[in-house]
């Protein structure tokens, strides 16, 4: 028996059932699409928040950048001189430049100035006036310094976190030391001496003069 042979009431009921089933199918597809779209949006949002999450603050980067500049200034100065050992690096002109002293094998001292980033020498190296005693002391400093400028700066900031503004070889009660100043995040200056051979901390004091 075909649909047209059915009684009118059964044909109406069957048509209604077909229409209802169709409506439910369409609704199910729509729900599925919404669910898929929501999932993509959530994933995208998660990626976006990961990319735009908290980053290291400028203040936290300042000390690191400055210490990298100190090391770079030493390397630039040594390259400008042609050879030798860096025995001193110091900020000058309110932190806009570095003064670097390099000692060559003959004990002579050469002064080099660089830009704030430490990557460009300003002018040409200048040989400082020294006598035989000065040259002998320079050679003693260089021979005793197992730690170079980069190592010494790292030891200072391991002791006090901050920016190294000055670092140089010196004599302290007969021991060759790296002597440096570190500014912490509060602006306090710490004067630190470390053994130039072992890296052990010799003195660590807060400078109250400024």
Q: Are residues 73 and 155 in the same domain?
A: yes
Does the pLDDT value for residue 189 go beyond 80? yes
Model confidence over 143-165: pLDDT tens digits?
999 999 999 999 999 999 999 99
Q: Kindly state whether residues 32 and 66 are assigned to the same domain.
A: no
User: What DSSP line would sit under 64-113, residue for residue?
Assistant: HHHHHHHHHHHHHHHHHHSS-EEEEEEEETTTTEEEEEEE-TTS-EEEEE
Question: Are 82 and 140 in the same domain?
Answer: yes
DSSP letter assigned to residue 131:
-
How many domains would you assign to the chain? 2
Domain shared by 154 and 195, yes or no: yes
Which domain covers residue 32, as residue numbers? 3-51
Residue 60 has pLDDT above 50, yes or no: no
E strands, the chain, where? 85-92, 97-103, 109-115, 121-127, 163-172, 175-183, 189-195, 201-207
Same domain membership, residue 45 and residue 65:
no
> Which pLDDT band holds residue 207 (cuts at 50, 70, 90)?
confident
- Considering only 60-69, 72-81, 157-166, which range has the smallest mean pLDDT? 60-69
Q: Computed from CA positions of residues 76, 78, 81, 82, in that sequence, does the dihedral angle turn out positive or negative? A: negative
| Residue ending a domain, choose from 31, 51, 71 | 51
Same domain membership, residue 75 and residue 29:
no
Residues 13 and 99 in one domain: no
Q: Are residues 66 and 41 in the same domain?
A: no
Q: Which residue has better confidence, 117 or 22? A: 117
**Residue 21 and residue 79 in one domain:** no
Residue with tokens 């439910």: 24
Task: Write down the pLDDT at residue 200.
Answer: 98
Q: What is the pLDDT of residues 83-123, one digit of tens each?
A: 999 999 999 999 999 999 999 999 999 999 999 999 999 99
Domain of 165: which CATH number? Answer: 3.10.450.40
Of the listed ranges 6-20, 88-102, 132-146, the one predicted with least confidence? 6-20
| Residue carrying the six token digits 């670097």 | 100
Comparing 23 with 187, the larger pLDDT belongs to 187
Tell me how far apart the alpha carbons of residues 69 and 96 are, in angstroms, rounded to a whole number.
11
CA dihedral (208, 156, 194, 69) positive or negative: negative
pLDDT of res. 62? 59
> Residue 19 — very low, low, confident or very high, per pLDDT cuts 50/70/90?
very low
* Res 18 pLDDT > 50: no
| 15 and 86 part of one domain | no
pLDDT band at 63 (very low <50, low <70, confident <90, very high): confident
pTM: 0.70
Tokens 């430490």 belong to 118
């Amino acid at each position: 028996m075909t649909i047209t042979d059915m009684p009118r009431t059964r044909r109406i009921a069957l048509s209604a059932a077909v229409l209802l089933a169709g409506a439910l199918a369409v609704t199910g597809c729509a729900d599925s699409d919404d669910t898929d779209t929501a999932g993509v949006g959530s994933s995208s949002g998660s990626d976006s928040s990961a990319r735009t999450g908290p980053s290291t603050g400028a203040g936290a980067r300042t000390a690191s950048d400055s210490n990298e500049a100190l090391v770079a200034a030493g390397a630039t100065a040594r390259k400008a001189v042609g050879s030798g050992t860096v025995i001193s690096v110091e900020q000058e002109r309110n932190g806009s430049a570095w003064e670097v002293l390099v000692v060559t094998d003959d004990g002579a001292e050469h002064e080099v100035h660089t830009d704030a980033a430490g990557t460009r020498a300003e002018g040409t190296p200048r040989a400082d006036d020294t006598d035989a005693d000065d040259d002998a002391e320079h050679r003693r400093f260089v021979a005793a310094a197992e730690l170079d400028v980069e190592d010494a700066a790292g030891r200072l900031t391991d002791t006090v976190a901050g920016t190294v503004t000055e670092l140089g070889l010196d004599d302290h009660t007969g021991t060759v030391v790296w002597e440096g100043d570190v500014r912490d995040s509060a602006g306090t200056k710490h004067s630190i001496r470390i053994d130039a051979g072992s890296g052990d901390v010799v003195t660590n004091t807060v400078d109250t003069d400024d």
